[in-house]
């Protein structure tokens, strides 16, 4: 398996924006920080939503994607999560990375400039061909869906 340092993600950062940083040597995700130089954003309790800019534009190599995931500390302490988790950053996207946060907690939460708000995981992507057909192979599970394998 290649070392993650073998993959290079080129970044244009707005002055004052923070580059993604891995908090430990073996962390899967690099922290993404809020870019809010004009002031903080407050998420109202029980459903407040905000699109938080990062000030970063990424060039993710072809064959990879960026996955934007919640930070466990924000979720556990404040009920804050990434609304479209995981958010996907396609390799051909060249706009600013923004993170959609939602407050599921009972208290308002204020996001300040440079706060760590999400994690970025760079992962390989496998494309495929979709083929129309009339039948599919049988499996023991068949059409049993939600909850069919237990809780």
pLDDT, tens only, 86-108? 999 999 999 999 999 999 999 99
Tell me the domain boundaries of the chain.
4-124
Distance CA 62, CA 125 (A): 9
pLDDT, residue 142, reads: 87
Band (3; pLDDT cuts 50, 70, 90):
low
Distance CA 73, CA 25 (A): 19
Mean pLDDT computed over 25-34 = 96
3-state secondary structure of 127: coil
Q: What is the pLDDT of residues 9-22, one digit of tens each?
A: 999 999 999 999 99
The token pair at 97 is: 């990375």
8 A C-beta contact, residue 98 and residue 120: no
Burial of 73 (0-12, 13-18, 19+ CB in 10 A): exposed
Taking all residues of the chain, what is their mean pLDDT, rounded to a whole number? 94
Distance CA 81, CA 146 (A): 23
Homologous superfamily in CATH for domain 4-124 = Deoxyuridine triphosphatase (dUTPase) (2.70.40.10)
* Closest to 64 measured CA to CA, from 17, 14, 6: 6
Mean pLDDT computed over 32-60 = 98
CB atoms within 10 A of CB 107: 11
The token pair at 33 is: 């920080």
pLDDT, residue 4, reads: 60
pLDDT, residue 13, reads: 98
pLDDT, residue 146, reads: 80
Band (47; pLDDT cuts 50, 70, 90):
very high
Q: What is the pLDDT of residues 109-146, one digit of tens each?
A: 999 999 999 999 999 999 999 999 999 999 988 888 88
Distance CA 108, CA 48 (A): 8
Q: Which residue has the tokens 């068949």?
A: 142
Identify the helix (H) or strand (E) that includes residue 34.
none
Instruction: State percent of the chain over pLDDT 90.
Output: 88
Higher per-residue confidence, 149 vs 42: 42
């Amino acid at each position: 398996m290649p070392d993650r340092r073998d993959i290079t993600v080129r970044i244009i950062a707005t002055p004052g924006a923070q580059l993604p940083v891995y908090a430990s040597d073996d962390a899967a995700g690099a922290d993404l920080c809020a870019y809010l130089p004009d002031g903080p954003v407050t998420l109202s309790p029980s459903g407040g939503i905000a699109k938080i800019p990062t000030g970063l534009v990424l060039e993710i190599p072809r064959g990879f994607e960026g996955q934007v995931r919640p930070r466990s500390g924000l979720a556990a302490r404040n009920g804050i999560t990434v609304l479209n988790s995981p958010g996907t950053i396609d390799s051909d996207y060249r706009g600013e990375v923004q993170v959609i946060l939602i407050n599921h907690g009972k208290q308002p939460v204020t996001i300040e400039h440079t706060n760590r708000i999400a994690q970025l995981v760079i992962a390989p992507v496998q494309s495929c061909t979709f083929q129309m057909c009339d039948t599919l192979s049988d499996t023991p599970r068949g059409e049993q869906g939600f909850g069919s394998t237990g809780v």
